[in-house]
Structure 1
Amino acid sequence: MIVEEKTAAPATPGAAAASREIGAGDNLCQFVTCRVGHEEFALDVLSVQEINRMVEITRVPKAPFFVEGVINLRGRIIPVLDLRRRFGLPVAERTNESRIVVILVRQRMVGLIVDEVVEVLRIPKSTVEPPPSVGSSAGAEFTQGVGRIGDRLLIVLDLNRLLLPGEQAALDAATRQR
């Protein structure tokens, strides 16, 4: 699968003229978009280090429930989080489209298991709104905002919230035991 970069079409007809005026100096957000369950999530492209096919994951005793385990990535031990578990979604069989997205969060590399990486996308910052205050969609407490692209909604993840401080300490302790 090739991940290609796209610039989103404007959400409204009035935005079409504004979209034509967007230049290199304008406020654009760039995201790697991926699917987890039926939802589409956006990760800040600057946090994404690489995207890998699924590899063997070594389980770690006493790790938080959503930690699948660790992988050896060119000599570095990287913890891997299952976003389905983290978001309270049912476990699903991994497919050829499943990926481990390696991100840098709080100066630590972490892998995120997603069902599919969709694309790299640039959208105007003005199309990203604060998260709604109500609702219980998957990953709502980890949401930084919602991007609107036509009829599509992208849930922009706040990567710093994926691991709460206590969970980070538990993960650190579990991975040090390896």
Structure 2
Amino acid sequence: MQMILFTMNQQYYLISAASVEEVIDTVTITKVPLAYHWIEGLINLRGTVMTVIGLAELIGVTRSKENRNILIMKNDEEKKGLLIEEVVEVVDIEPADIQLTSSDDQDYYAGVISFPDKVANIIDVNHLIF
């Protein structure tokens, strides 16, 4: 399966490429008053207004100093942006290579993949953002 490898605060994460429609450079995000702390705001993407969610705030990790990309996530006809630090590459992962750990308090966490030079956490946030 294809997954998108990206960084946040010097750590590596993977998310399924099947749930990502496209990756865009960060654009101007309009803040929304009284929104949840993990809602970054709204963007206008080719005439469509969509919510942008700060992934770091959503999963409780330290926010990156600079966020360069937004993952446009899709679920049926609904789309939302996911603010991340930077996409590194798209990788092919064999399901047998996923090392699972039981973590009841983190329902977004789907396992770990070891690469020769790094370790990446697999996250599944679709059920959290849609």
TM-score scaled by length of structure 2: 0.85
**Distance (Å, rounded) in 2 between the aligned partners of 1:115 and 1:79:** 17
**Distance (Å, rounded) in 2 between the aligned partners of 1:143 and 1:158:** 6
| Distance apart, 1:119 and its partner CA | 0.2
**Tell me, what secondary structure is at the counterpart of 1:85?**
helix
Structure showing greater Rg: 1
What is aligned with 1:33? 5
* CA RMSD after TM alignment: 2.2
| Distance apart, 1:135 and its partner CA | 9.7
Name the aligned partner's letter for residue 118 of structure 1: V
Question: Number of paired residues?
Answer: 130
What is aligned with 1:101? 71
Q: Answer whether contact 1:105 1:159 (CA < 8 A) is retained.
A: no
What is aligned with 1:133? 102
Higher share in helix: 1
Identical-pair percentage: 28
Q: Answer whether contact 1:106 1:160 (CA < 8 A) is retained.
A: no
**Distance (Å, rounded) in 1 between the aligned partners of 2:48 and 2:89:** 26
**Tell me, what secondary structure is at the counterpart of 2:71?**
strand
Moved over 3 A (4+): none
**Distance (Å, rounded) in 1 between the aligned partners of 2:21 and 2:62:** 27
What is aligned with 1:171? none
**Distance (Å, rounded) in 2 between the aligned partners of 1:123 and 1:129:** 12
| Distance apart, 1:81 and its partner CA | 0.7
Q: Answer whether contact 2:8 2:64 (CA < 8 A) is retained.
A: no
**Runs (5+) with no aligned partner, structure 2:** none
Among 33, 39, 56, the alignment partner of 1:61 is 33
Superposition pairs of residues 6-155 of structure 1, within 5 angstroms: 29-94=1-66, 98-105=68-75, 107-130=77-100, 132-133=101-102, 140-155=106-121
**Distance (Å, rounded) in 2 between the aligned partners of 1:122 and 1:89:** 25
**Tell me, what secondary structure is at the counterpart of 2:96?**
helix
**1:70 to 1:154, Cα distance in 2 relative to 1, 3 A:** same
